[in-house]
Structure 1
């Protein structure tokens, strides 16, 4: 099917081409899309958002690992270990839950900052 898009030839100096390539790499967009967005005065993504979202993903992975660890502790408690071990496991389980709450709060804070930066 034929396209209605037009192809343009743009001449750039080497340093301009290098800057365009650098910008497209940072924004994770093709060079043509960067030029298109600049021409139409559309907002370009903020490269720091990528870092923030990756941080949120990393926090959620740690949170999932902690949840698995907590489940293993609960399984260990179900097997009726000695009383001293039960107290230690309960303490560790409480620490895991507290850490999970902190991780979730941090992820929500980061997300709010990223979203606030978009507006």
Structure 2
């Protein structure tokens, strides 16, 4: 099947090629994608975007760890335990659920700052 895409070739000196490769590495984009975005005046990713997305991934890992811990507590609660120990487990479980809710809220706030308007579209 024929394509509607066109190949463009250009010549660069060593310094220009080195600079292009540095920009591609910094932006984490291919040469082709970087040049297309520059040509179309599209948004380029920033270092703070990468850091924020890494923060989201880290928070999601913590959230998953807490979910696993909460599930282990629930399994422990199925065993016969004293009322005092049950109360402690219940308090820990509620604390974990509260922390998970806070993590999810923080992730949502960071994501909204990175992609304004996305959440509004999802709610519509």
Which category describes the TM-score, using the shorter chain as reference length? 0.7 to 0.9
- Structure 1 position 49, deviation (Å): 2.0
TM-score normalised to the size of structure 1?
Answer: 0.80
Deviations 1:46-74 (A, max 9, x none): 33223222221221221122112111111
Deviations 1:24-49 (A, max 9, x none): 11222112321232123222233322
- Structure 1 position 92, deviation (Å): 1.1
Mapping of 1:63-102 within 5 angstroms?
63-102=63-102
- 1:26–1:13 CA distance, 2 compared to 1 (3 A): same
Report how many aligned residue pairs link the two structures.
117
Which runs of 5 or more structure 1 residues have no equivalent in the other structure? none
- Partner Cα distance (1:59, 1:69) in 2: 15
- Structure 1 position 117, deviation (Å): 9.3
Tell me if 1:23 matches 2:23. Answer: yes
- 1:42–1:10 CA distance, 2 compared to 1 (3 A): farther
1:112 corresponds in structure 2 to: 112
After superposing the two structures, state which structure 1 stretch, 106-115 or 60-69, moved more.
60-69
TM-score normalised to the size of structure 2?
Answer: 0.78
- Partner Cα distance (2:112, 2:9) in 1: 40
Alignment root-mean-square deviation, CA: 2.4
2:8 corresponds in structure 1 to: 7
- Structure 1 position 105, deviation (Å): 0.8
